[in-house]
Structure 1
């Protein structure tokens, strides 16, 4: 039998994202954030393409992005409640790491696997932040899927998109446990 790393397994079995609205100051400084980013970058990356990168959004940048949301929402025909909620995701945050999927030109590695790798980076970043003692939450939302918002707000190239926005800060409360999947209902065993 392999050796079990019980503390890590216990962490994974009990990990719980913290709602972004409960994350406040302090936030990790650059020195504290580097090991978290380094851990995230160790995600599966078929072909060693690094089809992702990070943009660390500090308070001033988040307020600038919040100011863009109403214009984008109006252009997309969003109602006032949707706009206010999306704007709040940026306006009330203190630190967000945007994981940017940067598709590489056609190679042996299909585009879908590059997308999966970017998603793996999001989860690894979330878990690394939580394991480091910070509160964290993975959000996206409709502004992050709008090409113009991404280009204007973050300077993303045509081959790039936001895979996830990882909010990191100090959690002000412990969230209650939520229902989890019934593993037996979603697992199929195939022997032959």
Structure 2
């Protein structure tokens, strides 16, 4: 039997990744935020197209984002409770980073590949935030697909939100991650 290999700090971070929805100030700022963004810029990106953009909402920007979300909820006839909750949704964290796939015309790299790159950026930022002592949660939902919301954020018809990364300081100790799932259940060998 082979000797067990101790996981490195990076592997331990990946194996203990957890979303944290209970977030408060402080959010990452200055050099810490730049490090998180640098992690996003290092994701797999065929042909180095950088097919993404990041819209950062904090402080008053969270209220502006909430107003945009409320307008989208009203415009799409969402139930009254959704319309009422929408303005406060961004305030669940001190910072929301809206990650947008912004595909570039390319003969080799299809739009879907470029959207996957933007999705990888969300994961990289969440992992970097956690490594730096912050918490985060990648939120999605119908807002991601609402074209009116996209227009209010000045996105083009070709651009697509791939996630809302809520970031801040965890307000509670997270329980240990669940016991490892048997990876073999999800593997198929050819």
TM-score for both structures, normalised by structure 1: 0.87
Per the TM alignment, residue 76 of structure 1 is displaced from its structure 2 partner at its CA by: 1.1
Contact 2:54 2:97 in 1 (8 A): yes
The runs of 4+ residues in structure 1 deviating greater than 6 Å are: none
Distance 2:181 2:82 in 1: 29
Distance 1:186 1:168 in 2: 30
Per the TM alignment, residue 103 of structure 1 is displaced from its structure 2 partner at its CA by: 1.0
1:110 and 2:144 matched: no
Query: Helix, strand or coil for the counterpart of 2:138?
Result: strand
Structure 2 matches for 1:86-101, cutoff 5 A? 86-101=86-101
1:139 and 2:136 matched: no
Could you tell me which runs of 5 or more consecutive residues in structure 2 were left unpaired when the two chains were aligned. Answer: none
Distance 2:154 2:178 in 1: 37
What is aligned with 1:51? Answer: 51
Distance 1:31 1:65 in 2: 24
Per the TM alignment, residue 85 of structure 1 is displaced from its structure 2 partner at its CA by: 4.3
Distance 1:98 1:107 in 2: 27
Contact 1:100 1:163 in 2 (8 A): yes
What is aligned with 1:65? Answer: 65
Distance 2:85 2:148 in 1: 19
Higher mean alpha-carbon deviation, 4-13 vs 121-130, is at 4-13
Contact 2:63 2:88 in 1 (8 A): no
Per the TM alignment, residue 88 of structure 1 is displaced from its structure 2 partner at its CA by: 3.0
Aligned positions, number = 186
Query: Helix, strand or coil for the counterpart of 1:109?
Result: coil
Cα RMSD for the two superposed structures: 2.1
Could you tell me which runs of 5 or more consecutive residues in structure 1 were left unpaired when the two chains were aligned. Answer: none
TM-score for both structures, normalised by structure 2: 0.88
